[in-house]
């Protein structure tokens, strides 16, 4: 019988010793009290607890934590009531201050966040609130971080997750956005038409310039051709005169040429040709006169 009692006592002692061994996980801290007073903060690792004297009163996680708070009614500077909810990212850097600094730390952070949010947004208009989230986040983070230092909490950042104005304000904003989009569309359409008209006008201008250049080039070439042709004719006439002068023509031949020139001046349309007397007296010109008369539609030849 005594052996069984001793075995039971031994088992109880082993169980007691096992229960006195405490292993704190990584990224955790345990706050230990001795007879109701703070004794120590156990970091990660193996620790021995004295039964009935040591008591673990708080197991604190040192990881970064996220607190997502419910939307809070906030009134802006221009008296618009809207619902704003925020998310707070924080971590505990001092387990003792976290345990003894404030009752229900998460609730304290929530209330402090809501109060700070109301103060900041209350000094801003609706448009400023909607366009200044980064500024709001920075201000709340700074204020909460300073206020929670004595609680052993470090606030890393605060994000305003959602800003929900009243439905009437949302409808007005949607109409404004729609009008703004339509305005931009009209401006872009007008700019496109303007650019198209400018491009078309520039194209027509370049085409007109090219046509004018082409006409100019054509006229220049025609003028150059006419000038070259006229020069060739003049050169031929000069050569003809030179050859005639070298041949030393008689006076009768020259008078005959004068008569041919006069006939060419009539161009077959004159009704009367005046011929010098000395030309008319030439015996060899009778045949020529008859041919000329036929070409001029029986023109009347008068000798003077």
Q: What is the pLDDT of residues 97-143, one digit of tens each?
A: 999 988 888 899 999 998 999 899 888 888 888 888 888 999 999 99
**Which range, of 234-238, 285-289, 299-303, averages the lowest pLDDT?**
299-303
pLDDT at 156: 93
pLDDT at 293: 43
Q: What is the pLDDT of residues 14-61, one digit of tens each?
A: 777 777 888 889 989 999 998 888 999 999 888 888 878 888 889 999
Global confidence as pTM = 0.55
Q: What is the pLDDT of residues 153-203, one digit of tens each?
A: 999 999 988 888 878 777 877 788 888 888 888 898 899 888 988 988 888
Instruction: State the DSSP string of the chain.
Output: -HHHHHHHHHHHHHHHHHHHEEEEPTTEEEEEEETTEEEEEE-SEEEE--TTTEEEEEEEE-S-EEEEPPPEEEE-TTS-EEEEEEEEEEEES-HHHHHHS-SSHHHHHHHHHHHHHHHHHHTS-HHHHHH-HHHHHHHHHHHHHHHHGGGTEEEEEEEEEEEE--HHHHHHHHHHHHHHHHHHHHHHHHHHHHHHHHHHHHHHHHHHHHHHHHHHHHHHHHHHHHHHHHHHHHHHHHHHHHHHHHH---HHHHHHHHHHHHHHHHTT--SEEEE-HHHHT-GGGHHHHHHHHHHTTSPEEEE-
């Amino acid at each position: 019988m005594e052996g069984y009692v001793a075995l039971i006592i031994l088992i109880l002692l082993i169980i007691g010793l096992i229960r006195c061994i405490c292993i704190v996980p990584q990224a955790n801290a345990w706050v230990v009290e001795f007879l109701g007073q703070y004794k120590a903060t156990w970091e990660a690792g193996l620790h021995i607890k004295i039964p009935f004297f040591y008591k673990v009163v708080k197991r604190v996680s040192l990881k970064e934590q996220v607190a997502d708070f419910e939307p809070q009614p906030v009134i802006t500077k221009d008296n618009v009531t809207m619902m704003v909810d925020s998310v707070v990212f924080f971590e505990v850097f001092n387990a003792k201050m976290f345990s003894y600094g404030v009752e229900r730390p998460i609730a304290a952070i929530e209330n402090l966040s809501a109060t700070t949010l109301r103060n900041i947004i209350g000094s801003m208009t609706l448009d400023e609130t909607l366009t200044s989230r980064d500024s709001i986040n920075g201000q709340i983070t700074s204020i909460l971080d300073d206020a929670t230092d004595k609680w052993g909490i470090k606030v890393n950042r605060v994000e305003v997750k959602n800003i929900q104005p009243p439905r009437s304000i949302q409808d007005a904003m949607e109409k404004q956005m729609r009008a703004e989009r339509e305005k931009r569309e009209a401006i872009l359409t007008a700019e496109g038409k303007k650019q198209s008209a400018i491009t078309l006008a520039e194209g027509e201008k370049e085409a007109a310039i090219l046509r004018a250049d082409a006409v100019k080039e054509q006229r220049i070439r025609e003028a150059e051709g006419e000038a070259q042709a006229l020069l060739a004719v003049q050169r031929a006439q000069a050569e003809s005169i030179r050859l005639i002068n070298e041949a030393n023509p008689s006076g009768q031949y020259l008078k005959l040429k004068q008569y041919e020139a006069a006939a060419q001046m009539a161009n077959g349309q004159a009704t009367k040709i005046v011929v010098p007397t000395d030309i008319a007296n030439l015996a060899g010109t009778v045949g020529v006169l008859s041919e000329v008369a036929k070409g001029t539609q029986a023109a009347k030849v008068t000798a003077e």
